[in-house]
Amino acid sequence: MTELTQDTIVPFLADIFARRGHEEYLGEEVTMSAHMLQAAHFAEAEGQRVEIIVAALLHDIGHFTSEFGSFTMNDTVDRLHEEAGATVLAEFFPSVVTDCVRDHVAAKRYLCAVDPTYFDDLSDASVQSLSLQGGPMNEAEVAEFEKLENTRDIVQVRLYDDRGKVHGMEVPGFDHYRSMVQGVVDSHLST
Ligand code: FE
């Protein structure tokens, strides 16, 4: 794979949505692209700032780590998809975006620990994967998580993630976000 640049990262991401987006989102009734596009749609509909919309849009991009030629970590290991996604995005996106991608699974474990109603609303597949991911956070982990720079945004993106599982819901496609994503990249790299 040729090295990604400021000019090729967004086409590269668009291409992943186009070619791989139809793939099943394990155990859910939506495809991978529908899931991420729905999450972005809910963020935009609530008037979130662009970094949050982009984070929601890209939060599961690590499921496609086989696309990232230089990345060698075994991408079949579910626990690592969030880390892989964040690693690839880190070169081009501000840390709030990469933090939301990296910690969207941690946010689920956090919310399960602090919000008794949260667990009840999780999808079956999400409950299933929770135990693989370490279960609800313990007290020390909760305290650590709350000390992160972007805790609130990470939790917010997680809530859009959880909502983006609506079977058959029509939402705008990747093109709708293309210039927004490029804008976030450009302003990050120019600072
Ligand atoms: Fe997700």
**CATH classification of the domain holding 68:** 1.10.3210.10
CB 86 within 8 A of CB 62: yes
**Structural domain for 92, as ranges:** 9-165
Confirm whether 191 is domain-assigned: no
* Helix, strand, coil percent content, the chain, rounded in steps of 5: 65, 0, 35
Q: What pLDDT, on a 0 to 100 scale, did the predictor assign at position 2?
A: 62
- Angstrom distances, CA of residue 24 to CA of 21, 65, 88: 8, 15, 22
Q: What pLDDT, on a 0 to 100 scale, did the predictor assign at position 191?
A: 78
CA of 187 from ligand 1 middle (Å) equals 26
Confirm whether 108 is domain-assigned: yes
Q: What pLDDT, on a 0 to 100 scale, did the predictor assign at position 1?
A: 54
Q: What pLDDT, on a 0 to 100 scale, did the predictor assign at position 31?
A: 94
Q: Which residues pair with 24 in a beta bridge?
A: 31
Rounded to two decimals, what is the model's pTM? Answer: 0.91
- pLDDT tens digits, residue range 71-122? 444 444 455 778 888 888 999 999 999 999 999 999 999 999 999 899 998 9
- In whole angstroms, what is the distance from residue 126 CA to residue 117 CA? 15
- Angstrom distances, CA of residue 34 to CA of 31, 165, 167: 5, 8, 9
CA of 191 from ligand 1 middle (Å) equals 29
Confirm whether 142 is domain-assigned: yes
CA of 26 from ligand 1 middle (Å) equals 10
CA of 59 from ligand 1 middle (Å) equals 6
- In whole angstroms, what is the distance from residue 116 CA to residue 113 CA? 7
Q: How many domains does the chain have?
A: 1
CA of 169 from ligand 1 middle (Å) equals 16
Both tokens assigned to 157: 């993106």
Confirm whether 174 is domain-assigned: no
- In whole angstroms, what is the distance from residue 153 CA to residue 174 CA? 22
More confident residue, 7 or 132: 7
